[in-house]
Structures are given as structure tokens and as C-alpha cells.
Structure 1
């Protein structure tokens, strides 16, 4: 299956058309996670030094990831907010160093100020876990001609896992994503990616229901991203308490998502995901 994402700014690997660019890819692509934070739930501090961050970025690029997702603020359950200046000090040096690396750069941020500075520094895409709720974030993306990943989250990172509740999790999450996509496009954002927000304000049962219902979401005209990498639901299912030991479960969840039409999976073990997805694609009927 061919997927596409539209930009109004130059993007590595994209085709020019009129005043825009379209990035196309076959099957399920990988968004590699590059956390430049001291407190992320599975790799906090690993990329705090610029050299370490750039080395990991090059490894993921060479492995074949489509997008590098750079994050300067942890959104793990219970995480405290980071000041704008601190988040900028973490992400901008990495973005500037990778701006000419030939890879699509995404920035994982909830702050319009950080998004604007990141796009000005050479990023191409904004990954907003608050789902573009803030009109300023929609305006930043629209002005820069940058698409955004619109994610569903009940509450915020500090409160989202305090007894999350839904009457119908699939309907409510899908309705929210479609409504936010319409608002973003109406505000001038060139395109959106939809992310049901696995692990963000959801119980194990909620997460499994959303993953099983993926075909309903992937029928939408927008690419769908699934980010289940190393998340706690793997511990609940398979008894793996340490996040860094959950890559096999992450692969299982993401291969399921790929078979159900996901356009992108967001992963820590990016090279392993690229390899597994290529093998799975080769096994599919022509």
C-alpha cells in the first residue's frame, strides 16, 4: 500500500508539485525515536551528549528509517513539564546538526514556541501528543507549511494514567482524531498523521481494543502512526518489568499494526523494526 504526506516546505525524498512537496512510501515505515532527555522512560540520558545523539541518528538513518523523531521533554506517565528554554537547548543543536543529513526530521513537542524554533532550524514535521489542541500549534504548523502528527491523550502526562475511563474507547478516540484533523486542515496545516495514543490515558484493555480496531482507523485518508515501543502494556501482557527488555513485544505489536494498515510505527529499536517489516512485507502476497 502506498502512503503519502504533504508539505509546503522542502523535504528529503519528497516530490515537488506546484507550491508543495509530497513524501510517498510503500508499506509501513519506521519513525526512529531520538530522545535527548535525561528522564525518558526507557532511554533517559542516553542521548544527552550531542555526539551520542548524532551517532544514534546516523545509525537509524543508515538502517532505513523514514523519519527521526527528536524529543526534548519526557511524556512518560507522571512526567513534569520542562521549561521552553530547556527544551530548546536540548533539541535545537541536534536539529541543526542533522538538517542536511537527508532524513525527515520530526520534533516531539507540545509547545508552539519549541515547534516554531524547531521548524526554523530545519525540522520538517511536528509530533504533538496533545493532538493540536492549542490553536497556536495549528498556526505554527500552518505558517511553516509543516504537517503534524495528531495524537489522542486523555488528560496530560502527569494525570493521564489516573483511572482513565471511556464509554466506547474506539469510537471516542477515532472521533477525536477525525475532529482534530478537520480543525488542523481548516487552519491551514498541510496534512496530518493520526495516532490513537497507545499508553496515553488508556488501560491495557483500552490499548488492545484500539489495536484490534486499527482497520477502522486506517480506512481514513490520513496516514496512521502506532507508537507502542517498550510501553507498559507489554509488561502487563508478557511480564517484562524493565522497559529496555520490551523490544520483542514492541515488534509483535508493530507487526500487527503493519498488517492492519498502519503507515508508520514509532520505535526505539529502529533498525530491528526496519528489518522485521521488510521480511514481513516480502511474505505478503504480491
Structure 2
């Protein structure tokens, strides 16, 4: 029977973790650079400005920064202040994941047409995830190991409530979004509603695929490296998924060539700037009489 706490096994699993981390970091860099043109076009005003670009851009930037700090900790760039370094890495990583979840909340607000009860529920669910993330960062402790030549976190079993919270909050938010979409039955096979539905299904599948292994290894608590093994995969997967879903929705909304013949997308109230023409109320008009008012 394998002794998961033996030094040889710990060294092997630490190598697995470092390899996974570097591969995911490479994927994050590739994703950021290959799609930076979108942000650049918005900031240069060659694409319409929507205030949610800051949520989208923040999600991507914090993902990169989180990976940079995680690599610095795992590769032993500093033998001192390991707890501070690891806490900073996890804080930026959780910020990226939180912003990805916030993009789901904004869709929920739009799909449910600012229904007070639903907006309150979505906000509470999202804030619960934020609170668990903050709790995780405050409890995290790490020390430098001369054997592994890296900063090694310990007592990682304390991450369990956070792993449950991330999976649970994302699942509930995505279910709220999908239920709101399915309410538009007469328009569910056309235009923007079908796009949102497909994106919601993909987003839910990705969330389950990458978050369940994180939760499972945290429950098993085999050893410290294996508890952390799938966290880089979770970070890069959710960051990439959120970015691509956002770009896909915005491209559909703002590119006339991509619009369905039965779907008219007048505009999206993503902008903090005043509209130049009346009325200022923007909606997705999906057939008649069904509408999805995009207030976000």
C-alpha cells in the first residue's frame, strides 16, 4: 500500500504539481496574448465600449498574475515570506475566479430582467463565494522546504469549505441563468436566447469538470501537493471559459452579420456613457412578445 506521506512520494507529487502549474500558466499566457486584440480594440475605441470590459479584463489579468505568483512560490523564487507569497497568489487567483462568477451574475440580472428576488439571490450566492475565498486566504500558511526548493503550503485540508463553496455557488448561479433562459420558451430556439443557453450549458459542464476533482482531492486529503494539483487547472479553465463566453456574446450582440433573422439586438446597456439617442432603454428583442432586457 502506498505511503502518500513518504518523502519520495511527496517529491514525485510536487513535481506533478509544478508541471501542471507551468502547463496551465503557458495556456493562460497564450490565451491572454492571442485575445488581447479585443481589449486593445475597445480601449482604442474601434469597438464599442461597455463597462463590463473591466470585469472581463480584470478576470484575465488576475488570472495571469495569480499564475505568476504561484510559479514564484512553487519554484522557490524566495525562501522568505512564503505565507505572504502564497496568500497573494491565492488572493489574485480567487479574484479571477470571482470575476468570472460575476460575469454569470450579470447575465442573470439581464436574463431575469432585474427581478428583485432573483438578483438578491444571485448577489448573496456570489458574496458567499467571496467570503469563503477571503477565509481561505486568511487561513493559508506556507513554509520554505529546502528539500523541495519551494514554498510548500500546509494544512491544505482547510480549503475544503472553499472548494465546496466555489462549486456550489457556480452551480447555483448557472442553474439560475439556465432557468431564466428556459422561461423564454417561445424564443428558446432562436437568436440570443439559444446562444445564451448553449453558453450556459458549456459553462456548467466546464465548471463541473474542473471543480469536482478539486473538491474530491480536498476531501481525500491524500497529501499536500495532490490537494493543490487541480487548482491551476480550475483557474485557467474558468478564466478561459469566462473570457470566451463574454467575447462570444458581445460579438453576437454588436456584429449585425451574426444576428438571427428573427432576432433584433438593438443595443446592450453595458455602457456607462450616456446614449446619444433616445430611448436609453436597451433590450434584446427575441421575437414577440418575449424580451430579455440587458441591464448589465
TM band (smaller chain): under 0.3
Give the TM-score of the pair, scaled to structure 1.
Answer: 0.26
> Greater share of helix residues, 1 or 2?
2
Give the TM-score of the pair, scaled to structure 2.
Answer: 0.25
Structure with the larger RCO, 1 or 2 (CA within 8 Å, 6+ apart): 2
The structure with the largest alpha-carbon Rg is 2
